[in-house]
Amino acid sequence: MREPVVTREMIADPKTKYGDARASTRHFFLQRLSGASNILFTAFLIFIVVRLAGAGRADVVGLIGNPFVGIPFAILFAIVCFHMSIGMNEVIEDYVGEARSNRLAVSLNAFFALAVGVVGAVSILKIVFWG
Amino acid sequence: MSARPRPTSPHLSIYRFTITMTMSIVHRATGIALYCGTVLLVAWLAAAAWGGEPFAVVNAIYSSWFGLLVLFGYTWALFHHLLGGLRHFVWDFGYGFEPGQREGLAWANVIASVALTLIAWTLFVWVA
């Protein structure tokens, strides 16, 4: 089956698989920026996991409950979720061509990244503020 | 104005694998794995926020042999994707494209990711 002819309007519409030129540039740049922030996140993650491997809940609350650990960790984790949603959109762009399933996949991706980010960040902040 | 449909490119099956191509694929694969793996981190954090009992359950699952296997894979994927990202930064500044350099970077990526994973687990899990 031949694909439909691509018009300028289709390319300009960010909802089509062809994407928006300016959005793509923005995504390219933000992916690098968030990637750089993720280096810091990884350092944090290793620090936290090493300190807490096999530890009980009291130790977890003791470490992540420290606002100087918990708050940056929550922010960095939110940026991770943003980074991964851009990355998954790129994968979807490559493999999910059909317009409807493309839109569905992009929406599911946004939902997943948002859900993971919110549950993660809220859990950390709960530990910081309420123990 | 209109354009012809874009040409589609043939997929993985017809190519002879090179190290740079393989590392590009692995970078994407580890990205997808880490995407799914965030659920593990969030489950751990949410259980810790919830209370002692759910936290003990999650801890027990993660410290089972299967849990440790998944976490080991997660560690490698994290290091591989991190180093792959650094490789992209090198390229973004215009370096490392010459023949030899790019293969070297790709091999360094695999070797360093395996080495860092083994070092991290030796120091923090097996010895500690």
Do the domain assignments include residue B92? yes
Do the domain assignments include residue B106? yes
Look at chain B and report how many structural domains it folds into: 1
Top pLDDT among A39 and B6 is at A39
Distance from CA of B118 to the nearest CA of A (A): 14
Query: What is the model's pLDDT at position A15?
Result: 67
Domains for chain A: give ranges and CATH numbers: 34-130 (1.20.1300)
DSSP B122: I
What number is the average pLDDT over the span A10-24? 66
Q: What is the CATH number of the domain that holds B85?
A: 1.20.1300.10
Do the domain assignments include residue B113? yes
Categorize the per-residue pLDDT at A94 as very low, low, confident or very high, splitting at 50, 70 and 90. confident
Do the domain assignments include residue B1? no
Q: Does A55 have pLDDT greater than 70?
A: yes
* Three-state SS at A18: coil
Query: What is the model's pLDDT at position A54?
Result: 75
Query: What is the model's pLDDT at position A72?
Result: 96
Do the domain assignments include residue B72? yes
Q: Beta-strand (E) ranges in B7-111?
A: none
Query: What is the model's pLDDT at position B109?
Result: 95
- Write out chain A residues lying below 8 Å of B3, CB-based: 5-7
- Write out chain B residues lying below 8 Å of A60, CB-based: 48, 55
Query: What is the model's pLDDT at position B1?
Result: 55
What is the Cα–Cα distance from B106 to B119, expressed in whole angstroms?
20
What is the Cα–Cα distance from A48 to A33, expressed in whole angstroms?
23
Do the domain assignments include residue B7? no
Do the domain assignments include residue B11? no
Query: What is the model's pLDDT at position B3?
Result: 72
Residue B16 φ then ψ, to 5°: -80, 130
Q: Which helix (H) or strand (E) holds B68?
A: helix B65-92
Q: Does A18 have pLDDT greater than 80?
A: no
* Three-state SS at B2: strand
pLDDT tens, position by position, A63-80: 999 999 999 999 999 999
**Interface check B42 vs A, CB under 8 A:** yes
Predicted ipTM? Answer: 0.84
Of B5, B86, B11, B115, nearest to A17 by C-alpha is B5
Residue B125 in tokens: 């899990």
Instruction: Answer whether A79's CB lies under 8 Å from A113's CB.
Output: no
Residues of chain B with pLDDT under 50: none
What number is the average pLDDT over the span A118-129? 96
**Interface check B63 vs A, CB under 8 A:** yes
Do the chains contact at A42 and B6, CB–CB below 8 Å?
A: no
Kindly calculate the radius of gyration of chain B based on its CA atoms and give it in whole angstroms: 19
Nearest chain A alpha carbon to B9: A94
Of B101, B80, B79, nearest to B90 by C-alpha is B101
For residue B38, what are the domain limits? 17-127
Categorize the per-residue pLDDT at A2 as very low, low, confident or very high, splitting at 50, 70 and 90. low
